[in-house]
């Protein structure tokens, strides 16, 4: 019986680990199909593929949302739009390796912000882990020499902060508590797409979705479909499936390997060369975020586990709603 349960656990782990690999590779995929002039347009195209599927899959539960829940989800959608814009502009202006590792600071920022909001002091071990991660990012952004961080690095740092705001907003907004995860995701993405569409229609903000689509080659379409089908739909439904068969903490632990895959893909396929300071920084980021996650999870153990359907994502404390669609 024990052996059968262990095999079932491993079979559940494999799709979740594949999600982490997909997310890690998506920074490079996004970099390949997006330019500084096409960010809002590409985001419109990406989620125009995703939204109809989510609406059809969760139509009954979507109709059951109340007015307050719709307003709350719409507000979260505005924050989500900011996350996507920061991440996408960031990944255009930095390396895939830097993007994947810097965004992992959300795992440290979230418990720090949560403790500040709740006026609860974090243990010294967590603060040490946070310091290790921040030091790692400082080294990582130097590449082969000591220079100021690039604009893309700073945008990714801003995206990590925005993710933290989104996590805290979802946790503290009474209107969305108990809302169905799929419905909440659909409304948020719908609100974000409206923002992207408006931005792409403003003169001077870049290409239109139609003009961008017309200029896509076969490789661009494959990259866009990869981001839509695998990094969004596949990731979200695997999280929903896995959290019903295992624990949110186990799902979170596996998804937390995303920065490792981002760095591996960036170095192996994109030819990223962080240099000695950058490699040392990458190790410190991974060690610091893993240590900080472990400390935060130990402190969270006495509390009630999240309800089914709230699979933990890249932040270690966040339901799968926004991260299933990440990175942009």
Residue 123, in any domain of the structure: yes
Site of tokens 């995303």: 258
Cα(13)–Cα(18) distance, integer angstroms: 9
Q: Which residues pair with 35 in a beta bridge?
A: none
Q: Which of 202-211, 217-226, 311-320 shows the lowest mean pLDDT across its residues?
A: 311-320
For residue 290, pLDDT over 80 is answered with yes
What would the pLDDT profile of 207-246 be if each residue is shown by its tens digit?
A: 899 999 999 999 999 999 999 999 999 998 998 888 778 7
310 vs 118: which has the higher pLDDT? 118
Query: What's the mean pLDDT when you consider all of the chain?
Result: 83
281 vs 222: which has the higher pLDDT? 222
Residue 153, in any domain of the structure: yes
Tell me which residue range forms the domain holding 240. 12-323
Residue in 323, 277, 310 with CA at minimum distance from that of residue 106: 323
Q: Which of 34-43, 57-66, 141-150, 192-201 shows the lowest mean pLDDT across its residues?
A: 141-150
Residue 6, in any domain of the structure: no
Number of domains in the chain: 1
What would the pLDDT profile of 2-37 be if each residue is shown by its tens digit?
A: 555 555 556 778 999 999 999 999 999 999 999 999
CB 104 within 8 A of CB 285: yes
Six token digits for residue 212 = 């961008």
Residue 131, in any domain of the structure: yes
For residue 307, pLDDT over 50 is answered with no
At 312 the pLDDT is 31
Length of the chain: 328
Q: Which H, E and C letters describe the chain, residue by residue?
A: CHHHHHHHHHHHHHHHHHHHHHHHHHHHHHHHHCCCCCHHHHHHHHHHHHHHHHHHHCHHHHHCCCHHHHHHHHHHHHHHHHHHHHHHHHHHCCCHHHHHHHHCCHHHHHHHHHHHHHCCCCCHHHHHHHHHHHHHHHHHCCCCCCCCCCHHHHHHHHHHHHHHHHHHHHHHCHHHCCCCHHHHHHHHHHHHHHHHHHHHHCCCCCCCHHHHHHCCCHHHHHHHHHHHHHHHHHHHHHHHHHHCCCCHHHHHHHHCCHHHHHHHHHHHCCCCCCHHHHHHHHHHHHHHHHHHHHHHHHHHCCCCCCCCCCCECCCCCCEHHHHCCCCC
């Amino acid at each position: 019986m024990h052996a059968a349960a262990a095999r079932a656990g491993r079979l559940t782990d494999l799709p979740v680990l594949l999600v982490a690999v997909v997310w890690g590779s998506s920074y490079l995929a996004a970099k390949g199909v997006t330019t500084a002039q096409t960010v809002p347009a590409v985001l419109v195209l990406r989620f125009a593929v995703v939204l109809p599927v989510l609406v059809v899959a969760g139509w009954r539960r979507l109709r059951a949302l109340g007015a307050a829940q719709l307003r709350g989800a719409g507000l979260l959608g505005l924050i989500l739009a900011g996350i996507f814009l920061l991440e996408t502009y960031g990944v255009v202006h930095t390396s895939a390796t830097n993007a994947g590792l810097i965004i992992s600071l959300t795992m440290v920022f979230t418990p720090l912000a949560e403790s500040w909001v709740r006026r609860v002091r974090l243990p010294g071990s967590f603060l040490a882990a946070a310091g290790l991660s921040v030091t790692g990012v400082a080294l990582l952004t130097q590449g082969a020499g000591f220079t100021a961080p690039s604009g893309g690095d700073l945008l990714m740092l801003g995206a990590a902060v925005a993710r933290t705001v989104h996590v805290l907003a979802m946790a503290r907004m009474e209107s969305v508590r108990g809302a169905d995860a799929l419905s909440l995701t659909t409304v948020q993405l719908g609100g974000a797409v409206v923002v992207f569409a408006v931005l792409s229609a403003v003169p001077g903000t870049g290409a239109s979705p139609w003009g961008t689509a017309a200029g896509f080659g076969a490789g661009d379409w494959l990259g866009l479909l990869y981001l839509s089908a695998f990094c969004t739909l596949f990731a979200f439904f695997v999280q929903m499936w896995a959290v019903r068969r295992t624990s949110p903490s186990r799902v979170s632990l596996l998804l937390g390997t995303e920065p490792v895959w981002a760095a591996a893909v960036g170095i192996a396929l994109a030819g990223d060369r962080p240099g000695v300071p950058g490699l040392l920084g990458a190790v410190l980021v991974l060690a610091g975020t893993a240590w900080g996650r472990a400390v935060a999870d130990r402190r969270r153990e006495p509390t009630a586990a999240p309800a089914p359907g709230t699979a933990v994502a890249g932040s270690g404390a966040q339901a799968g709603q926004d991260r299933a669609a990440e990175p942009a």
